[in-house]
A and B are shown apart, each in its own frame.
Chain A
Amino acid sequence: MVDINQEDILRLLAQRLASFANPELEITPDTNLITQLAIDSIKLLNLIMELEDHFDISIPLNALTDVVTVRDLANLVYKLKLDSK
């Protein structure tokens, strides 16, 4: 099992999110998923599925309630990945 760090997760997330976003928008850790990326329910489901498959984790709904920015989501994935080890 390759060790994963928050930087890698952030980079991967930014790549995935770029496909949803206006090409002019630069995605940073502080990018707001709701107001800046306008993630709708179908995009969100796709993203969760990809993250779960990629990292082999299960993202619980109650944890998403505190996710607003790209960094929040990366931290959540990191924490779930650590817990699953």
Chain B
Amino acid sequence: MSSTIIKLGDPLMQESGSQPSSKLSMAATPTINTLAQRLVEFDTLIDALEYAADGATGYNFYDAKGELRSVLSYNTLKHNALSAARRLSGLGLARGDRVALIADTSPEFIELFFACRYAGLVPFAMPIPVNLGSHAIYVRQLRSMLESGQASIAIANVDYFGFIEEAAEGLNIDSLQWIGTPGQLNKLSEVDTVFQPSLPEETAYLQFTSGSTRMPRGVVITEHALMCNLRGIVRNGLKVRATDRCASWLPFYHDMGLVGLVLSPMAAQLSVDYLATRDFAIRPLQWLKLISRNRCTIAFSQPFGLKLCSLRVRESDLKDLDLSCWRAAGIGAEMIRPEILRNFADKFSAAGFDERAFLPCYGLAESTLAVSFSNISQGVMSLRVDTKTLVEKKMAVRVQAEGRKFNEFVNCGRPLPGHTVKIVDENGQELPQMMVGSILVKGGSIMTGYFNNHEETAKTLKPGGWLDTGDIGFILDGDLYITGRRTDVIIVNGRNIRAQDIEELAEQQPEVRSREASAFGISGADDATIVVLVVECRLTSVEERQSLINRLQQMVYMAFGVNCLVELVPPHTLPRTSSGKLSRSAARQGFLQRAKMTDQISVAVHSGDR
């Protein structure tokens, strides 16, 4: 037993790959457990793990070819996490100190996450690099997270360790005491300690929500908030049963991947089958094959993930798939466009996919993960509202006559028990149903704030315990509908990008002054979002202007993996508010007008988008 534990925990073993003997003996954890199911009847994450460890279920990791690479039963997880916790204890940290982990889809990440909780430390997940040419910007993103989270330890698998080493140089904090790989941690000696149980009011982890290189925000989630949200997801949202099994490709550094598909299944003692995000993105069929082969019942995706499946899976692949087992296809993390779901259902009904499995939901990291779920097994319910009334009166009225222009919004259901949602106007006054305004949430899953960032916390947490979600929507018959984001977030291909983070990158160029760049999204062909960056520019030479445009496009691509349209405008073009702040919505209006009204600018704009 102990030799298997070491093998599975060793990152080098995983990379060296095909060890015939260990491969033959490896079997995925079962769906049906040997233990009575308890649905999040626990006060802390460690309580939940201690119970799950008495059963036979756990996590399974598959490679790009769909072959099982490692198995981490909850039992093995408990032992490995305890052992790593004893090693961490030798590093002399105080209770509540932060541990930064680069979160690739690996058993080591999960072991270290739980090791931190055993040792009373607060883990936070950092992303893996995904963009071409992103080396320098990725290192800066890591550095700013280490600083913002005031990390004491940073750990990354061998593939990513070099980036951590670079980020650790020139840090503006003195908290960082140790960096290493899981293998190096394993070489430290275990300290014989009795761990104090964690308390419900203690911080369980931090969740970073932005790719900012200057001001990332770490959401503080307590054990109590986490358990409250897991209970809502497992009991109310998914109505989990003992026969459920999950499959996931979602990154472990996103709230939906971590809370939804790592922590929730464990707190309900379900087995999970993982595919790395990269492997899904390149070959989405592998995810569907996993669901089909292992008879998985629960699998979540952003709409973009479903779109990839529809685009890239061939008709000839369908006959090998049987998706009739999939009862909860959770959809969240971005605005849900009904057409994407319809296309998916049209294509995969031939493989047994039942469109009633679609489970639209709404949530955000600031509320741990979930806020509301639609009714399970009901499929997508949507509402067509009259566009004119929506725009002119900010009111959602069901479209009455044929031929009127309409917008279609997906019903995201009711808030989880113990949570309340309200819609307010610009002055914070509550609006009646059907009126469109800002979505505020209150309840047990809400964050305590952004770590070490009072300013951002004060902007987001309102008096009375209301969280301002930054999203816009309305309520009808108690159900929540999301109509958009405020202009400060741009969503492209399932990724949330803060406009401020793009403007900040632009302002780091020597030619761009502070507060002279404005970023926003516009809808392009077939509803795809295009990122636009308008920059006030004093350069006159054509070469210098083109060089700036190229550099800005490259920077934005490296940081966020999206192409962007750069428009250079004369100084004082961007509209400002009375307090001198840039207005993104006015900048967006101005851009749209210029793009239509003068050919010359529109030509310049397009040439910048090559």
Binding site for B on A (CB under 8 A): 22, 32-36, 38-42, 44-45, 48-49, 52, 58, 60-62, 64-68
CB-nearest residue of chain B to A50: B282
CB-nearest residue of chain B to A63: B159
Contact assessment for B130 and A61 in the assembled complex, using a CB-CB cutoff below 8 Å: yes
Which residues of A are found within 8 Å of B302, using beta-carbon distances? none
Which residues of A are found within 8 Å of B160, using beta-carbon distances? 62
CB-nearest residue of chain A to B552: A35
Which residues of A are found within 8 Å of B283, using beta-carbon distances? 49
A20 to B610, CA, bound (A): 11
Chain B residues 276 to 321 lying within 8 A of chain A, measured CB to CB, are 278, 281-283, 308, 311
> What would 19 more interface pairs be, CB under 8 Å, given A36-B610, A65-B138, A66-B135?
A32-B554, A34-B558, A35-B550, A38-B553, A38-B609, A40-B563, A41-B562, A45-B308, A48-B282, A49-B283, A52-B282, A58-B64, A60-B159, A61-B129, A62-B160, A64-B132, A65-B133, A65-B134, A68-B132
Which residues of B are found within 8 Å of A39, using beta-carbon distances? 132
Binary CB contact string for chain B from 542 to 575 against chain A (1 if under 8 A, 0 otherwise) = 0000000010011001100111000000000000
Contact assessment for A33 and B163 in the assembled complex, using a CB-CB cutoff below 8 Å: no
Given contacts A34-B557, A34-B558, A61-B278, contact A22 B610 (CB under 8 A): yes
Which residues of A are found within 8 Å of B138, using beta-carbon distances? 65
A49, A52, A65, A66 — which one has the most chain B CB atoms within 10 A of its CB? A65
Which listed residue (B129, B282, B553, B609) contacts A65, Cβ 8 A?
Answer: B129
B24 to chain A, nearest CB (A): 22
Which residues of B are found within 8 Å of A66, using beta-carbon distances? 133, 135
Chain B residues 134 to 166 lying within 8 A of chain A, measured CB to CB, are 134-135, 138, 159-160, 162-163
B383 in contact (CB, < 8 A): no
A62 to B64, CA, bound (A): 16
Which residues of B are found within 8 Å of A60, using beta-carbon distances? 159
A66 to B493, CA, bound (A): 23
B596 to chain A, nearest CB (A): 23
Number of interface residues of B (CB under 8 A): 31
A54 to chain B, nearest CB (A): 13
CB-nearest residue of chain B to A36: B610
Contact assessment for B554 and A35 in the assembled complex, using a CB-CB cutoff below 8 Å: yes
Contact assessment for A34 and B129 in the assembled complex, using a CB-CB cutoff below 8 Å: no
B453 in contact (CB, < 8 A): no
B382 in contact (CB, < 8 A): no
A66 to B162, CA, bound (A): 13
Which residues of B are found within 8 Å of A36, using beta-carbon distances? 610
A35 to B554, CA, bound (A): 6
Which residues of A are found within 8 Å of B311, using beta-carbon distances? 42
Contact assessment for A35 and B562 in the assembled complex, using a CB-CB cutoff below 8 Å: no
CB-nearest residue of chain A to B563: A38
A32 to B610, CA, bound (A): 11
CB-nearest residue of chain B to A72: B133
A32 to B469, CA, bound (A): 39
A35, A60, A68 — which one has the most chain B CB atoms within 10 A of its CB? A35
Which residues of B are found within 8 Å of A65, using beta-carbon distances? 129, 131-135, 138, 163
B128 in contact (CB, < 8 A): yes
Contact assessment for B133 and A35 in the assembled complex, using a CB-CB cutoff below 8 Å: no
B283 to chain A, nearest CB (A): 7
CB-nearest residue of chain B to A66: B135
Which listed residue (A40, A48, A62, A67) contacts B159, Cβ 8 A?
Answer: A62
A33, A48, A64 — which one has the most chain B CB atoms within 10 A of its CB? A64
A46 to chain B, nearest CB (A): 8
Which residues of A are found within 8 Å of B129, using beta-carbon distances? 61-62, 64-65
- Show 5 residue pairs from A and B whose CB-CB distance is below 8 angstroms, ordered by the A residue: A35-B557, A36-B610, A49-B283, A61-B128, A65-B135
